[in-house]
Structure 1
């Protein structure tokens, strides 16, 4: 018997195809045992869709803080996220941001007159990665040709390619030696605001903060102050708090800041990664195997 799956509230064709590739059957919500959710991120909409027959919900994003904060995520039904599905594209963007910062391309691309060469090599840099899930691990692999020293902030016992591992609770110990600090941790009550004035004071004055996680992990006002005062070298941000970053915000005006509009995961990569996760998990659900991207209600990721 195939798995009865509801895809919605927006029934995206690529996700319907992903369910069918795994042998799942697309059914109305009242007959479903599983939901592949795609639509608005309203927790109440999600809550209203759950009924006694639902045993599993697949969420479309790697970050699940909206649903976690609202108490929607439970052990029954179980919830899975797209965690790990977008690791390589986002890691590629993080690497591009670091290369741009090292070479000063964010300034040089806009210059209108010949000037001195102030760029530097990225190769051989020390990179601290706060959060070594799919993004962090993919980034470590991508940096191998550059011979970087990688400090992994994680509670994992082993991280292939890392020169040093620092537990999450002691993440500040990774900051003083880093040329680049990459923020790739999930957004939870414990990680929000984890980078502020105290952390910037520990960083080198030529170090760059690179955020490809969530804007709320960084205290924006304190970041602006640190950048203006020269406490850190710069910031490369694909995510901000608030988001979208409003016109006239001080971050737009600083020449040691590089901002991209939450575009680290290209749309084609997003749909490919999500479809692959849906197909894999429908097959696993049908076979009674462990699901990928399982969300812990207590941890919120």
Structure 2
């Protein structure tokens, strides 16, 4: 379905944004608005139609798209890989006051965010925009693991050994309290599960039976049947799940990572799976990424790996376009941005 706004055709997103309470609408310092550049401009930036859908989003919000010059005040950066190039652009253009980044996680830009942070410059991300498709993928992977589908999918002969357990009334620990976690809580409601959310800051997450801070992660792992990792990758959270944490879990428990690969120690995970210290793992993200041929994770016991496809460009392009449209509106009106990034925190 499509709608027409100001003579441009805009696709209605299939999904809606879901934000954590600390990121729903943050008040950033009012910044000087002006023309907006979209970079890189090539059509190979990983989105259907290249930059056209984002240009339409800017113009539908009343913004003006221009080449990067002395009058430009906004920058929409569409490349995940070219963080160093973004730093060069920011160094050369001190007149910029707002930068929109393309993904929910900003770990790829961590060095740039720290080095280029300055008064009067606001960074926003797509945090929350992709929560629904990613949470859907997390649920699918969870069900697949519990029903032993990785083993079934690889079978080449009839296996009559009964395997598989139900998700109903299980204990679920979700690490992270952002949009993905909140949408997953909603999707899990029909299964009558008991959910514990582990988050950095205090405060109850709606729909969770219990919300605890990260210093109580160990206790939350001990009782979990399913551990879903939906946290931001920072210096503090690298290898958040390692040998010690895996050893705390039930032998029947499974791990699902749909956040960032380095949140899980891959060597420790391989050992835990092959020694049957846990029942299984599903990864949409890995360390390293892409996961090279022959890596031990590929052949670990009861492993399910998808190649960072919890959301696809067809899903994310309209969602990012909607985030751009809303933030351009805020940029021009001096109002609240959505998804403001804290460079010191790393998300």
Higher relative contact order (CA 8 A, sep 6+): 2
Residues 134 and 73 of structure 1, relative CA distance in 2, 3 Å threshold = farther
Counting only pairs closer than 5 Å after superposition, residues 111-260 of structure 1 correspond to structure 2 as: 111=155, 112-154=157-199, 155-260=201-306
Report Cα offsets for 1:205-243 as digits up to 9, x if no partner: 111110001111111111111111121111111111011
TM-score by length of 2: 0.83
Report Cα offsets for 1:99-146 as digits up to 9, x if no partner: 101111122233221413211111111110000101111100010011
Question: Structure 2: 5+ residue runs without aligned partners?
Answer: 1-31, 43-50
The answer to whether 1:16 aligns with 2:59 is no
Root-mean-square deviation (CA), in Å?
1.6
Report Cα offsets for 1:181-221 as digits up to 9, x if no partner: 00100110000011100101111111111000111111111
User: Is the 1:2–1:23 Cα contact (8 Å) retained in structure 2?
Assistant: no
**C-alpha separation in 1, matches of 2:221 and 2:301:** 23
**C-alpha separation in 2, matches of 1:250 and 1:127:** 27
Residues 118 and 40 of structure 1, relative CA distance in 2, 3 Å threshold = closer
| Greater displacement, 203-212 / 156-165 | 156-165
**C-alpha separation in 2, matches of 1:157 and 1:73:** 31
The answer to whether 1:269 aligns with 2:315 is yes
The answer to whether 1:74 aligns with 2:117 is yes
**C-alpha separation in 1, matches of 2:118 and 2:175:** 27
Q: 1:84 aligns with which of 128, 131, 135?
A: 128
Q: 2:45 — aligned with what?
A: none
Q: 2:38 — aligned with what?
A: 7
**C-alpha separation in 1, matches of 2:247 and 2:332:** 51
TM-score by length of 1: 0.96
Q: 1:52 aligns with which of 84, 90, 94?
A: 94
**C-alpha separation in 2, matches of 1:117 and 1:231:** 20
Question: Structure 1: 5+ residue runs without aligned partners?
Answer: none
User: Is the 2:33–2:74 Cα contact (8 Å) retained in structure 1?
Assistant: no
SS of alignment partner, residue 222 of structure 2:
coil
**C-alpha separation in 2, matches of 1:6 and 1:285:** 13
Report Cα offsets for 1:67-87 as digits up to 9, x if no partner: 113434525311011110000
The answer to whether 1:62 aligns with 2:84 is no
| Greater displacement, 166-175 / 143-152 | 166-175
